[in-house]
Amino acid sequence: MSFHIPVLLKETLEYLQPQPGQIIVDGTLGGGGHSLSLAKAIQPNGTLIGIDLDPAAIEEAQKNVDSEKISSKTIFVKGNYKHIKDIINGAGFEKVNAILIDIGISSYDLEGSHRGFTFQKNEPLDMRFDPEAVPHNKDKEPFTAKFILNHYQEHELKQIFDDYSEDKFSSRIARGVITTRQEGEIETTEQLFEIIKKSLPAKFRFKAGDSARRIFQALRIEVNHELENLQAFLPDAFESLLPNGRLAVISFHSLEDRIVKRFFLEKAIGCTCPPEFPICQCGKEPQAKVLTKKPIIASEAELKDNSRSGSAKLRVLQKLI
Ligand SMILES: C[S@@+](CC[C@H](N)C(=O)[O-])C[C@H]1O[C@@H](n2cnc3c(N)ncnc32)[C@H](O)[C@@H]1O
């Protein structure tokens, strides 16, 4: 298994236009697929700052960079991209030329992490990107998919399944979780898959895999606070850019793409007056230009080689001032 094949790599490089000597941040290092190409493009004296919550990703990226003998400086940090400002400062910089995040799930997460990201393997229901994340609650139980499934109330489960999976059987699946856990804790991906399958009307059970994929994604988003991270990251990342700096986001979920699209538009429009005002009263100027009028999606060729690129959307913003 390769750690991960980078998605939309060519397009990301085209839009970010990395140049020798630049400082670039990759907020989701993964196996270092994007980072490796970016670090090469900024040689000989550029700096690449790579961030990931997962120590295994950092180790893999380090190995890949070492094997390529890249002359740019690389600084890898175990952390959350939502702390991008502190991480950039900690690396000795204030502003950078470009920032990328690729907020999908890596092949390693699915196939090699043993943290229960997929129903296709029988594993404990963990789903934390950061396997060392400290417990959030006083009982000292880590905030994992298992915690959610065994402690959330029915309406809370329904809410996350509705919002993050948009599965039409969300209510039935939430009910199925509540009923099953009365007989004992839900601990494994296999148990969860069985609950999902049994909760579907009989004639839809042959499609249980589709519902399971969506429900697993919803749990992953909740466990890792993925939407909150993105919301916190965008303004700080924008502020951390030098004039003309570029910010690229590759997302895989419509809710994430909507957050990115709205943020980019807000920066590009400037004026915040209500639409019924005939002329602008606020005087706010555009701070950025959206370089991708429509999101960039994978080419036929990439789709053929890497099915994970199917739902990827790349949006890129350039700071003006
Ligand atoms: C799709 S992979 C990135 C793949 C990478 N672009 C490549 O081509 O090799 C996403 C990575 O982001 C990491 N991650 C997810 N949320 C994060 C966060 N809030 N902060 C830092 N890393 C995060 C995951 O651990 C995972 O390694």
Q: Going by C-beta distance under 8 Å and a sequence separation of 6 or more, which residues neighbour residue 117?
A: 105, 109, 110, 127, 216, 220
Is 105 exposed, middle or buried, given 0-12, 13-18 or 19+ CB atoms closer than 10 A? Answer: buried
Over the stretch 199-214, which tens digit does the pLDDT of each residue have? 999 998 998 999 999 9
What distance in angstroms lies between residue 212's CA and the mean position of ligand 1's atoms?
22
Q: Give the whole-angstrom CA distance, residue 170 versus residue 163.
A: 9
Segment 26-33 shows an average pLDDT of 94
What distance in angstroms lies between residue 92's CA and the mean position of ligand 1's atoms?
23
Segment 117-129 shows an average pLDDT of 96
pLDDT, residue 66, reads 87
What distance in angstroms lies between residue 67's CA and the mean position of ligand 1's atoms?
21
Which residue's alpha carbon is nearest to atom 5 within ligand 1? Answer: 30
**Does the pLDDT of residue 155 top 60, yes or no?**
yes
What distance in angstroms lies between residue 295's CA and the mean position of ligand 1's atoms?
20
Segment 226-236 shows an average pLDDT of 98
Q: Is 98 within 8 Å of 248 (Cβ atoms)?
A: yes
Pocket test residue of 49, 60, 129, 259 for ligand 1, highest count of atoms within 8 A of CB: 129
Pocket test residue of 25, 28, 226 for ligand 1, highest count of atoms within 8 A of CB: 28
> Which atom of ligand 1 sits closest to the CA of residue 129?
25
Q: Give the whole-angstrom CA distance, residue 193 versus residue 215.
A: 9
**Does the pLDDT of residue 242 top 90, yes or no?**
yes
pLDDT, residue 136, reads 63
DSSP-assigned states of every residue in 143-205:
-SHHHHHHHS-HHHHHHHIIIII--TTHHHHHHHHHHHHTTS---BHHHHHHHHHHHS-GGGG
Phi, psi of 75 (to 5 degrees): -120, 115
Pocket test residue of 37, 82, 101, 106 for ligand 1, highest count of atoms within 8 A of CB: 106
What structural domains does the chain harbor?
9-108+226-319 (3.40.50.150), 131-223 (1.10.150.170)
**Does the pLDDT of residue 145 top 70, yes or no?**
yes
Cβ < 6 Å from ligand 1: which residues? Answer: 4, 6, 27-28, 30-34, 51-54, 57, 80-82, 102, 104-106, 129, 224, 229
Q: What is the tally of helices (H) and strands (E) in the chain?
A: 13, 7
Q: Give the whole-angstrom CA distance, residue 312 versus residue 303.
A: 10
> Which atom of ligand 1 sits closest to the CA of residue 101?
6
pLDDT, residue 143, reads 93
Phi, psi of 245 (to 5 degrees): -65, 155
Q: Going by C-beta distance under 8 Å and a sequence separation of 6 or more, which residues neighbour residue 119?
A: 189, 190, 192, 193, 196, 209, 212, 213, 216
> Residues in the chain, how many?
321
Residue with tokens 């393997």: 121
pLDDT, residue 102, reads 97
* pLDDT over 70, % of the chain: 98
What distance in angstroms lies between residue 55's CA and the mean position of ligand 1's atoms?
11
Q: Is the backbone of residue 8 left (phi > 0), alpha (psi -120 to 50) or beta? A: left
What distance in angstroms lies between residue 56's CA and the mean position of ligand 1's atoms?
11
Over the stretch 50-73, which tens digit does the pLDDT of each residue have? 999 999 999 999 998 889 889 999
Q: Is 137 within 8 Å of 146 (Cβ atoms)?
A: no
Local confidence band at 1 (pLDDT 50, 70, 90 cut-offs):
low
What distance in angstroms lies between residue 283's CA and the mean position of ligand 1's atoms?
38
Which H or E run contains 315?
Answer: strand 313-319
What distance in angstroms lies between residue 47's CA and the mean position of ligand 1's atoms?
19
Which residue's alpha carbon is nearest to atom 26 within ligand 1? Answer: 30
What distance in angstroms lies between residue 191's CA and the mean position of ligand 1's atoms?
27
Lowest mean pLDDT among 19-33, 57-71, 124-138: 124-138
